[in-house]
Structure 1
Amino acid sequence: MVRAVAAAALAALLSAAPSAAETLAPWVILGPAGAVVRTLTTEAACPRIRYDDFDRPMQVRVGPWADYPHTVCEAPLPKIVQRVTFAGRDVPVPKAEVRRVVVLGDTGCRIRGIFAQACNDPAQWPFQRMAAAAAALRPDLVIHVGDYHYRESPCPLPGAGCSGSPYGYNWGAWRADFFDPARPLLDAAPWVMVRGNHEDCNRAGHGWYRYLEPRARPVDCEAFTEPYRVEAGGLDLVVVDSAHALDRTPPPPLVERYRPQLAAARALARPGAWLLVHHPLYAVFRFDGPERRPLETNATLLAAAEGLGADPFSVVFSGHIHRFDVFRFAGDRPSQVIVGGGGTAVDPALGDGPDRFAIAGMDVAERVSDKGFQFLLLEREGAAWQATLHDLDRGAVRRCRLEGKNFSCPQ
């Protein structure tokens, strides 16, 4: 056992350090100030990038540090630019009208303590297959609802299916969990990145701020950041950072820390806006006890939202629970959609519960729960959106429709 752990530690160390000079193909992130192109390099200077007919240098976001051997380079992407190339290859640019959106979340391979997902088996950890399948659908935009990094511990046993995996909070684990498998989808479209609890400051927060946070990098890992709005080709998105929101029994100061964030997010919302937040606001994790009592999540955000009045969003997209769930509410209330089956070990479907129940005082008119490795494709249809749930093993398993505040999945 000691020998296996030592071998895993050596593999993690070796994977964190590039064996030769390298520069990664760039990716595009949408944030409150528009689009930014980002890449990593071990070269002495940031590379140049070509916008239409002229080249420009990328700027240093942050230099190499400890377990992160690359310089992170970036450049703003003005709306006027029509074509971007990097080392002779095209880089995806934001579309004037977004018509096809991929939503997915919770994509990393879980290794923590004695629990080990078989990261080396594409059937047991299929994120790379999922990225390729989603890219083949030619989306205009990709939304990741959080939790990218799951390789926190060494592979516990040689036969666990994760032998040789890097682990810990370093470039090697980030590369294995996200950058390598996500490459087909990073090449296909710009992304909106939502921070998950796996990217909090006790876990992979430093990597989050180096690689994926769209705004300026802070001096140190910040636990709380302000919500922001993204305008994406006629689609209005509001992003809330819920990385430190506890699912259960939050202390009052934590609730009060999130209350102004939720109020600010509501103030940012325009008609028809989507709310993107890793922890679900209006969901049930399971039906508990012999009474099948609905156990709500997230307690921090639910308490913080009390007294803020009507929710202006048309829909809330989240992850955190590793399955596909829909909660449609009676009246003028936003639907909650959970898309958390992106690759990490899946949770069981919600199962049977009471015929009628409420979440946050809102009567549930329709609920759907589906287990599997899945992503969602939304296609614009006038003022509405057709949504198809794609399962890697079963194909298109559900067809839904978002119209107004109603996200409905007829059986």
Structure 2
Amino acid sequence: MLTSNPVFLRLLPAALLAGCASVQPTSSMLSAYVVLGEQGSATARVLSSASECPAIELDGSVQPMRLRSPAATIAQRPTASSSTDSKPSAFPVLTCELPLPAGTRAASVAGQPLPLPRSEARRIVVIGDTGCRLKKADNAYQACNDPEQAPFGTVAAAAAAWGPDLVIHVGDYHYRENPCPDGNAGCAGSPWGYGWDTWREDFFRPAEPLLRAAPWVVARGNHETCVRGGQGWWRFLDPRPLAPGRDCNLAADDQLGDYSDPYAIPLAPDTQLLVVDTAATTWKGLKPGDTGYERYRDAYTKVAALAQRTPYNLLANHHPILGFGADLDKHGQRYLQLGDKGLQDSFGSINPLLLPANVQALLSGHVHLWQQVSFASPHPTQFVTGFSGTAEATVPLPDDPMAVQPAPGAVIGAFSSWVGGFGFMTMERTGPGSWRVEVHDRHGAVRNRCTLTDRQARCETAQIR
């Protein structure tokens, strides 16, 4: 990985830029950030309303950025909503990028310094499920105009102030899918659909202080599948090159656009982060012959090979394999939402214990709460961090969560949770296979402290209130 030393650098005079891309004024630069990909490779991204990509300054040398995706309006395609509640996706912005060479010491665009990865990531922020929910089918209209009810901007600012070396988002960035109903002041005027205006308000604007603070690792959630926010996912966030047919623009290409291979990011000489795209799995389960079943079996095989590189591995994906939540059925009776069955079916067909033995912890979201589950059986600890902005789960968990079995053969040995609170989680590396974990509220106050050693985690507070 690169060594970080961000400093404020002025751009060279325009006379020195002959033959290079012109430097765009800051007003046209809508967002600038760094995403990490395979083996920790860093890519600078800039979203711009200008007609061409800006220049980037790397260690005093100015060079043009490359166009990842042009401005375009994508014809309306089938989505998760009805055709009357869908519309074409307008992206009146350029997505520009440039891989950052190893050893880069400073990078800036239009005078804005970019955060560079450190040789070791010792301070990590983990967030998930950050967007503001507007979904007609669920009659779910979060008060996006109220920072108390939709607090991702507050969470992002507090997480940035903590001073992370790295940010991990475990998926579900985009939630404003359908229009706010007339007369609903809580979300009145909100953009909706899958275009840039919605991505900007749901993610890029509130995330700005955290995008400036550190490089990001982005896991993909079910809200970023092709029938939902997949077009923006591929344009803006995924760290890989944008290949034809992987952009979610045409429904005929969805089997290509809905899946991607796992990759590893070194965190320390003995530790790496495995990033797994599980966006298209299903809680209903998968069976042999299903596209997802075969693709996730393949993903497991690749994860197992990557995990062999280091003795300790964290794994980031969206759907918790070993966590659980609770909801109410149509009769008002509580039922449990156990670990994702699609992944249990596919991964479990190769390994009944679901994960390689040197995966020490899973970092996931999807369930809108914070949770820590460790096991007396040979399973890794599960952390769930789906509590960073989306309307929170409110149904209480069972009085005796230790009796829950989130996956076949998984016996809970330690458990902690926070239902109904917004915030972020931090991880500080304290030694080989050892982490200090803290749960922060939306303003950054610490609400729980935990330790993770090998595959076991223990927290001071069993239930945050």
- Segments of structure 1 that go 5 or more residues without pairing to the other structure are 1-19
Match of 1:316 among 341, 359, 362: 362
| Equivalent residue number for residue 263 of structure 2 | 228
Q: Secondary structure at the match of 1:108?
A: coil
Match of 1:265 among 303, 316, 319: 303
- Note the C-alpha offset of 1:177: 0.3
Separation in 2, partners of 1:201, 1:292 = 31
Residue identity opposite 1:77 in structure 2 = L
With 242-251 and 202-211 compared, the bigger mean Cα shift is at: 242-251
Corresponding position: 1:244 with 2:280: yes
Paired residue for 1:350?
397
Candidates 149, 152, 166, aligned match of 1:141? 166
Distance in 2 (alpha carbons) for counterparts of 1:342 and 1:198:
15
Q: Which runs of 5+ in 2 are unaligned?
A: 1-25, 74-89, 249-256
1:266 alignment partner, SS class: helix
* 1:365 counterpart = 2:392: no
- Alignment check: 8 A CA contact 2:159 2:444 kept: no
1:374-410 deviation line (CA, Å, top 9, x unaligned): 1101112122111110012692111011111112213
Task: Report the secondary structure of 2:155's partner residue.
Answer: helix
Q: Name the counterpart of 1:65.
A: 72
SS at match of 2:300: helix
Give the structure 2 partner of residue 380 of structure 1. Answer: 429
1:318 aligned partner, one-letter code: S
Alpha-carbon spacing, 1:255–1:169, altered in 2? closer, same or farther (3 Å): same
Q: How does 1:11-50 map to 2 (within 5 A)?
A: 22-32=28-38, 34-50=41-57
Q: Is the 8 A contact 1:21 1:43 kept in 2?
A: no
Q: How far, CA to CA, are the matches of 1:120 and 1:295 in structure 2? A: 30
Q: Distance in 2 between matches of 1:278 and 1:215?
A: 18
> Contact 1:94–1:232 (CA<8 Å) still a contact in 2?
no
Q: Distance in 2 between matches of 1:322 and 1:332?
A: 26
Provide the aligned length of Structure 1 versus Structure 2. Answer: 392
> Is the aligned partner of 1:280 residue 2:310?
no
Question: Aligned pair in 2 of structure 1 residues 183, 353: CA closer, same or farther (>3 Å)?
Answer: same
3-state SS of 2:366 partner: coil
Percent of paired sites with the same residue: 41
Secondary structure in 2 matching 1:302? helix
Give distance in 1, aligned partners of 2:376 and 2:48: 51
Q: For the Cα contact (< 8 Å) 1:109–1:149, is it kept in 2?
A: yes
1:106-145 deviations in whole A, cap 9, x for unaligned? 0000011132100010100000011000000110000000
Following superposition, the deviation at residue 56 of structure 1 comes to: 1.3
Cα displacement (A) at 1:308: 2.4
1:147 to partner: Cα distance = 0.2
- Secondary structure, in 3 states, of the residue corresponding to 1:124? coil
TM-fit CA distance, 1:60: 0.6
| In 2: Cα distance, 1:292 partner to 1:199 partner | 28
User: Structure 1 residue 408 and structure 2 residue 458: aligned?
Assistant: yes
Task: List per-residue Cα deviations over 1:320-360 (Å, max 9, x = no partner).
Answer: 00001111011442111100001000012423246434332
- 2:8 aligned partner: none
**Cα separation, 2, equivalents of 1:158 and 1:115:** 15
Q: 4+ runs of 1 displaced by more than 4 Å?
A: 287-295
Q: Higher mean Cα deviation, 281-290 or 293-302?
A: 281-290
2:364 aligned partner, one-letter code: S
Normalising by structure 1, we get a TM-score of: 0.90
